[in-house]
Amino acid sequence: MRDFLAIALRSHQSLHLKSRRARSHSRRSPHFLGFLKRWCADLKMNYYVCLHQEGVSSIPKLIEKAFANNYNVVATSINANMLPFEPNESDPTYPATILSGGDWNSKVIFTMSDVDVDSPNAKLRQHAKEVFMRDVAWAEHLQNVGSVMVRLRGPQNENLASIVRAKTKGNWFIQVPITNPELATFEHRKDATAEELAEAESNDPWNWWNNLRMATKHSTKVKVVVELNDSDRPSKETVRRWLGESLEAIIIPSSLFVRNRSNYCVLKKEWQVIIGHFISVRANIIISTNPNDKALSQYADYLKKLINENCDTHVLNSYENMLEIPLQPLCENLDTYTYEVFETDPVKYKLYQDAVQAALLDRVSDAEAKSKLTVVMLLGGGRGPLARAVFNAAELSKRKVRLYIIEKNPNAIRTLSNMVKTLWANKDVHIFSKDMRDFSPPELADIMVSELLGSFGDNELSPECLDGALKLLKTDGISIPYKSTSYINPLMSAVLHQNVCQLLPTVPAFDYGYVSLLKNIYHIDEPQALFEFIHPNRAENIDNTRCKAVSFTVKKDCVLHGIGGYFDTHLYKDICLSINPMTHTAGMFSWFPMFFPTRPRTLREGQTISIKFWRCVDATKVWYEWQVVNSPEDWELHNTCGTGYNMRL
């Protein structure tokens, strides 16, 4: 099911990129949405819980035991209860026929012999490579699309990377300890020096993984399996960084479990929180036990309960980490599916209603309520949700309004016209099929209401649209919203980087800005404000070009894969909408964040990086350019002259 969904999503992703349509979740067919809803309701988003045991004498019996205790998969040594093969050993210890081909692929993860193919000793290195290559050959014979797991022993993995690149079948799961195992030995050593401790702390297993990831050229078949241990609980920042990786699973040793008052195996609260973070980004669970463990079913049941508690299953799950080109409603007419999805947002239109209501109360006193008429100009009516918000605000405030709806989409006009006849026949409402920039109104507006904001605030050209519509507003008139601000921050996301690379054969993928429901990401630093736009803009010479550099501090060794983009907007006074992760409006989903890719580079803890953004405008289009500007050298400048992503005027 996981593979099938991946194929389906990649197919839809391709179509969306080619058509240059849709903000994230806005371009799905109803059949596909129905499929996604059913799929999301399936077993915890299809997480698997794997039983990992070494020293077993029979793989079929291990599978039988695992399935009887509520596990979906097993992980065990490829050499089944034997030390690593001698390179020339002829007896493979078990035949391929003990399982069907399908079971080898779907039910078994092979752990490779724990030998060091990058040993500094030439003889040991050669012997290890011969043993390891025999394991690889046997695994490829048994599995044509399966998976093998190999433990990283340190930062030097050039030979291992070469083998991984050469292997053509299946996936490589790279087992990495979440903290350096050497640190645990210092608790029992009285002779350890401060220098030795500092050296061990600096030998970060994440760097082992990063070296391998770089050496394998960010291969999509290489995924990380993070191994927890009971001797050293990781810091919050360490956990957060792993969330930005291409995580396959986490290994939970049975020693992490304790027994509660009912003699049932549970995890301490601290470990529940840590594991919950991994579950939230779709990491699978591998429980490592010895063959004689009698509490197998308790472990599995407990972890499945934890999955239920931490898996945020909803209909938008399928959009996680997908890359799509943002909407361009100024030059393209939206379809009814797009409008329909936006209209289901439970929060946005209520806040717009609150803003209009507050503005009406401020502009019209109680004494004037029955006599004074407020002219509201709605710029972009869609299928009517903002109009309903205006009418609701008028009723709640007991104020009189005349509503002009300006909508350029002729297809939306048909729906709005029907609403006037059937729902708003007793309302003072007038519809005009016009571009707001070309509209000559019968009278000027007291309040101008619009929802022209994209995931980066101005990327649907709200400044150009509202500046062009300024002639519709009285000199003392107000705009709802009256201010929008974009934000950026550096991100690590191996998954998003891989998705960008998959698009390279067809488009200049590193010169696009995408919208995506960001999931497997690490925020290298908190978002900071970038560009601000004020409405109405009554400046004598209006200039909507912008250029700004923003500096960030790296909190932990990591890889920069791109830049996150967000916005917030002030509708009226202190009534705000935000998708900034620090201030996100609870329950609102109309906008996914943006992602601006960069070529990956490793950053070091404490390093300062500066990201420079340009908002460029010419006669026909608006576009962004972005660049990491760091001494001693600037990085690649992306989207020069808008040759990739641009917004057409």
Phi, psi dihedrals of residue 404, rounded to the nearest 5°:
-105, 125
Q: How far apart are CA 104 and CA 359, in angstroms?
A: 66
Estimate the crossing angle of helix 205-215 against helix 158-166, to 10 degrees: 50
Q: How far apart are CA 448 and CA 468, in angstroms?
A: 12
Q: How far apart are CA 174 and CA 109, in angstroms?
A: 12
Residue 548 token pair: 């700004």
Burial class (CB in 10 A: 0-12, 13-18, 19+), 507: middle
Burial class (CB in 10 A: 0-12, 13-18, 19+), 446: buried
Judge contact between 117 and 129, C-beta under 8 A. yes
Give the three-class secondary structure for 305.
helix
Among 227, 245, 407, 460, the one annotated catalytic: 460
Q: How far is CA 508 from CA 16, 115, 136, 594, in A?
A: 15, 41, 36, 17
Among 227, 451, 464, 625, the one annotated catalytic: 451
Question: For 320, left (φ over 0), alpha (ψ -120 to 50), or beta?
Answer: beta
Residue 534: alpha-carbon gap to chain centroid: 30
Q: Closest Cα partner for 569 from 435, 462, 473?
A: 462
Q: Is 451 a catalytic residue?
A: yes
HSE toward the beta carbon, residue 166, CA cutoff 13 A? 9
Judge contact between 520 and 247, C-beta under 8 A. yes
Residue 25 token pair: 């979740």
Q: How far apart are CA 366 and CA 375, in angstroms?
A: 17
Q: Integer distance in angstroms from the first to the last C-alpha of the chain?
A: 42
SS3 assignment for 25-47: HHCCCHHHHHHHHHHHHCHHHHC
**Residue found by looking up tokens 């500094």 in the block:** 120
Q: Is 460 a catalytic residue?
A: yes
**Which residues belong to the active site?**
451, 460
